[in-house]
Amino acid sequence: MTLEKWQQIVGQIKDNFSVEEHDSYQEEEPGGAEVEYLIFPSPLGRTKLEFIAKPVLLEKRTNYSKRAGADVRVENVYSEEEKTYTMKAYQWDEETDDWTEIDPKNFQL
């Protein structure tokens, strides 16, 4: 998934469906993924698409001591420029009153 492809998908959805919500947020986890999401009614029911941009993990540094009982810390080093992009699709489940992820294997081109 690329940023350009995501923008095309958003444009097609806005042209063909009424969008309930379109927003973004920053995750608080280390590395700080940026998530943009879109909620809209579709033939499958209420659908949510998420576009996730995370910095690329360059390396994991392990800090430890050879002393007995010493702690081990793992430090992740992320890229400042490079990002990895993924898209996830969810469908609203009325029974659980929550989003359930749609398995990408169910899509056909």
pLDDT confidence of residue 52? 93
> Is the full-model pTM beyond 0.95?
no
- How do residues 36-95 score in pLDDT, each as one tens digit? 999 999 988 999 999 999 988 888 888 777 777 678 888 888 888 888 899 999 999 999
Give the C-alpha distances (Å, rounded to integers) separating 31 from 21, 22, 83. 26, 23, 10
Which helix (H) or strand (E) element contains residue 52?
Answer: strand 45-63
Q: Given pLDDT bands bounded at 50, 70 and 90, which one contains residue 107?
A: low
Quick one: 46 exposed, middle or buried, by C-beta within 10 A (0-12, 13-18, 19+)? middle
Number of domains present in the structure of the chain:
1
pLDDT confidence of residue 108? 59
Residues with Cβ within 8 Å of 20's Cβ and at least 6 positions away in sequence, in order, are 39, 40, 41, 46
Over range 14-26, report the average pLDDT.
94
